[in-house]
Amino acid sequence: MEPRHSRHIKPGLFIWMASLPFIPIILAAASSCDFPAIFNFGDSNSDTGGLSAAFGQAPSPNGETYFHHPAGRYSDGRLVIDFIAESLGVPYLSAYLDSVGSNFSHGANFATAGSTIRPQNTTQSQSGYSPISLNVQSVQYSDFKKRSQIIRSQGGIFETLQMFPDILGQFSDVVTQIYAVGGRTFWIHNTGPVGCLPYSLDRLKEAVGQLRKDLPQAAITYVDIYSLKYTLITRAKEFGFEQPFIACCGHGGKYNFNSQRRCGAKITVNGTEVVIASSCKDPSLRIIWDGVHFTEAANKWIFEQIVNGSFSDPPVPLKMACHGSKHP
């Protein structure tokens, strides 16, 4: 299917937001900070319907807080990418893989839950990882761009420390590829605190430093998501949250999480399906939604901290990201 409304696509903000298997980045291909479109790459941290379109909808109670029905997101409501879109006056991103009701006039979302930087050698059912890894998302974007131009012209998980250098190499390659086709502003997030080692963060900073040397016309901003999420979890009560390690939606165990019975899981009792992994009474008071992903309330809090540049190096607000380190 050809991208709908693709004739109106303009250079805009390129985002790569993800959790542990990814290193999130934001890139802008514009000379000013007017971002008419967003193109997002990543995993479940920013998937707005990709995996659901490919393998079946994220089940209820996902989406209950804001959308009031499953909306392709692994959260009770909006994700950080949704708040970014709102702040820039751009509609929520349609998933590239979703052919139903999609509108790509303001960008596209290539993220799918479970995606990784390195291609996987197992199926989604075997490992839980999405086959739509970073290299596939990059190919999808390239194809999307080419086909959009044609239509317009017609008027119509870190297993070992040893793997980390390879991951950073592939990450740098993608940044370089996007730079080669016009990307000039990069907003790069480090990873969250769960399972993340300072060694990894230092390697990422080194990679960012090297990219600044290799891509002299790029404005690169490094965002310290690690410190931000660590602060939220360790000082949860101070920010109005409770039980920071216990999932809102889940079943059993110390942390209300069972990998075999995740959020929305059902069992059959006397011939009737019964939901055994439902949401907590008030998701707005929780940080963790389903043992893996954040609640809408936590996502909103994170967005409010990063949007003004407080956790960025240099401290550049999102709307000034096209200036990056060049900004005074």
C-alpha–C-alpha distance, residues 109 and 132, integer Å = 12
Q: Over pLDDT 70: what percentage of the chain?
A: 80
Active-site residue identified among 82, 293, 312, 323? 293
What percentage of the chain carries pLDDT values higher than 90? 38
Residue 193's pLDDT is 63
**In angstroms, how far is CA 11 from the centroid of its own chain?**
20
- How far, in whole angstroms, is CA 70 from its chain's centroid? 18
Residue 44 falls in the annotated catalytic set: yes
pLDDT of residue 177: 82
What's the CA angle centered on 57, arms 54 and 61, to 5 degrees?
A: 155
pLDDT category of residue 214 using cuts at 50, 70 and 90: very high
Q: Which of 15-24, 50-59, 170-179, 286-295 has the lowest mean pLDDT?
A: 15-24
| Predicted local confidence at residue 222, as pLDDT | 84
Amino acid present at 40 = N
Compute the CA torsion angle 63, 67, 70, 71 (nearest 10 deg). -100
Asked if residues 85 and 38 have their Cβ atoms less than 8 Å apart, the reply is yes
Q: So what's the pLDDT on residue 216? A: 86
Q: Which of 6, 44, 115, 133 is catalytic?
A: 44
**CA–CA distance, 148 with 104 (Å, rounded to integer):** 10
290 tagged catalytic = yes
At position 275, the amino acid (one-letter code) is V
pLDDT score recorded for residue 66: 97
**Residue matched to tokens 């889940």:** 250
> Residue 27, Cα to own-chain centre: how many angstroms?
13
Over residues 21-46, the mean pLDDT reads 66
Q: Are 15 and 26 within 8 A, CB to CB?
A: yes
* Closest to 313 (Cα-Cα) out of 227, 241, 255, 247: 227
Average pLDDT, the chain: 81
pLDDT at 156: 52
Q: Tell me how crowded residue 166 is: count the other CB atoms within 10 A of its CB.
A: 11
**Out of 143-147, 154-158, 227-231, which region has the weakest mean confidence (pLDDT)?**
154-158
Over residues 138-148, mean pLDDT: 83
pLDDT per residue as tens digits for the range 63-117:
999 999 999 999 999 999 999 999 988 899 999 999 888 988 888 999 999 888 7
| Predicted confidence (pLDDT) at residue 243 exceeds the cutoff of 50 | yes
For residue range 149-204, what is the model confidence (pLDDT) as tens digits?
777 676 654 444 655 566 677 778 878 887 887 777 777 777 666 555 565 677 77
94 flagged as catalytic: no
